[in-house]
Structure 1
Amino acid sequence: MQKTISTQQYENFTASRSERLDKTYDRFQKLIIQLEIHCEVISQEDENLKLLRSLPSTWNNMALIMRNKSNINTMSD
């Protein structure tokens, strides 16, 4: 049951316009850890792209630049 809830939270993850980027990232990392606890493996590339897609529109230019980086699949914290 918890795995299903965590998976849904991951799929629906979005950043709030009023939330600082570090808070968004911390919340995202906690969700990733929960998924790992339940043996759900998400590639680094998918994690990176999901986080970038979750950012508010004010981050569109930066997110576009990051998505087009050739090493998006290996970028980590």
Structure 2
Amino acid sequence: MRGSELQIAVREEFGALGAVLLADLVLERLGGRTGAEALRGGVPAREVWAALCESQDVPADRRHGRGLRDPRA
């Protein structure tokens, strides 16, 4: 997942709240950082997406990112 794909997935899944979640929600799975901080620190976008989905109870069938290609088997 690229950074641009993360932005699309966040927007599609969470709407206008997505930008706030990335900027403000502290995620323990990311070492107590926000998604934006983790990205700046070099954490891959896919890991940030997984942590955000986990924290917000996104169903497993949507965790590959709405609007994105299905993950490879």
TM-score per shorter chain, which class?
0.3 to 0.5
Give the TM-score taking structure 2 as reference length: 0.38
Larger radius of gyration: 1
**More strand per residue: 1 or 2?**
2
